[in-house]
Structure 1
Amino acid sequence: MINWKVRFKNPVFLAQLFLAFFVPLLGYYGLTAQDLTTWGSVFNLLGGAFSNPYVLLLIIVSVWNALNDPTTRGIEDSQQAKRYQWPK
């Protein structure tokens, strides 16, 4: 089990999750953040991503890497991390 409450209190985790979602999109479509100057361009990018199975796979793998703790088996947090109330 993942200690979601503590992870979402950690701004580094939130940034990592955001980047895990958007970096594969920008890389696949050859864009930079500067290219997303309107909400319409953001929604077009998201619509194209969700209709492309390869891009979805890239996003899933990237998010998996952001969630996974390599020091534990599977996708669980360690026993010590499960007891945290705030990020350490």
Structure 2
Amino acid sequence: MNLKVRFKNPIFWAQIVLAILTPILAYAGLTAQDLTSWKALGDLLVGALSNPYVLGLVVVSVWNALNDPTTKGVGDSGQALTYTEPK
């Protein structure tokens, strides 16, 4: 995977943040509007770290954000591997 280029793309970071937060919020039965303080967010994340089921959901969600389903296997296409900047 051409992670060096992906790290330069703000859309990639939005995908990763959502891939982490969405399953946690869904499991807790919350919405983003329910997180009204940093303490609430911290408590939610600590609770998620102590729950293997939620961690599994997060891993699958992050995998889906990283994997390119348009290529064979788990890597990027040959063309995408030549990029030095997001296209």
Normalized against structure 2, the TM-score is what? Answer: 0.94
Corresponding residue number in structure 2 for 1:32: 31
In the alignment, which residue of structure 1 is the partner of 2:58? 59
Equivalents in 1 of 2:37, 2:73: separation in Å?
A: 39
Q: RMSD of aligned C-alpha atoms?
A: 0.9
Establish whether residue 19 from structure 1 lines up as the match of residue 18 from structure 2.
yes
How far apart are the structure 2 equivalents of 1:64 and 1:43? Answer: 23
The unaligned stretches of length 5 or more in structure 2 are: none
Cα separation, 1, equivalents of 2:20 and 2:71: 23
Task: State the alpha-carbon separation in 2 of the partners of residues 37 and 82 from structure 1.
Answer: 41
TM superposition outliers: structure 1 runs of 4+ over 3 Å: none
* Structure 1 gap segments, 5+ residues each: none
Identity between Structure 1 and Structure 2 (%): 64
Q: Distance in 2 between matches of 1:12 and 1:29?
A: 25
Alpha-carbon distance, 1:26 to partner? 0.6
Q: In terms of mean alpha carbon deviation, does 21-30 or 70-79 score higher? A: 70-79
Aligned to 1:43: 42
Q: What is residue 74 of structure 1 aligned with on the other side? A: 73
Relative to the length of structure 1, the TM-score reads 0.93
Residue by residue, what CA displacement relative to the aligned partner does 1:24-61 show, whole Å, maximum 9, x if unpaired?
A: 01100011111111111111101110100100000000
